[in-house]
């Protein structure tokens, strides 16, 4: 069994995987904001008005967020 002191930090693990959080997440998690007031990480709006998931416009937002470019040979 792993001792609590040796347990990995969940936030650090998610950051290492490239997770990006809304700047409003802490306020939402603490009950200070309603979900409709949380800015989307991709479009930056509350409520979210991202293009539909799976469209090229949606993936362009995702790529911009992660600093990726597509098309120059994988």
Looking at the domain assignment, is residue 13 inside a domain? no
Could you report the per-residue pLDDT of 18-52, keeping only the tens digit for each? 888 899 999 999 999 999 999 999 999 999 999 99
Kindly state the percentage of the chain with pLDDT values over 90: 57
Domains of the chain: total: 1
Helices (H), the chain: 10-16, 25-29, 56-66
Kindly state the percentage of the chain with pLDDT values over 70: 86
Instruction: Identify which of 22, 71, 27, 18 has the alpha carbon closest to the alpha carbon of residue 42.
Output: 22
Instruction: Identify which of 34, 33, 64, 69 has the alpha carbon closest to the alpha carbon of residue 51.
Output: 64
| pTM for this prediction | 0.65
Looking at the domain assignment, is residue 46 inside a domain? yes
* Of 46 and 8, the one with more pLDDT: 46
Per-residue b/e over 29-52, b at no fewer than 16 CB within 10 Å?
eeeebeeeebbebbeeebeeebee
**Domain residue limits at 45:** 33-66
Looking at the domain assignment, is residue 5 inside a domain? no
Cα separation, 8 vs 4, whole angstroms: 9
């Amino acid at each position: 069994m792993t001792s609590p002191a040796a347990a990995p930090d969940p936030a650090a693990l998610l950051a290492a995987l490239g997770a990006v959080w809304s700047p409003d997440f802490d306020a939402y998690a603490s009950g200070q904001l309603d979900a409709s007031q949380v800015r989307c990480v991709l479009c930056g709006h509350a409520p979210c008005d991202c293009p539909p998931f799976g469209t090229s416009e949606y993936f362009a937002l995702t790529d911009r967020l992660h600093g990726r470019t597509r098309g120059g040979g994988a």
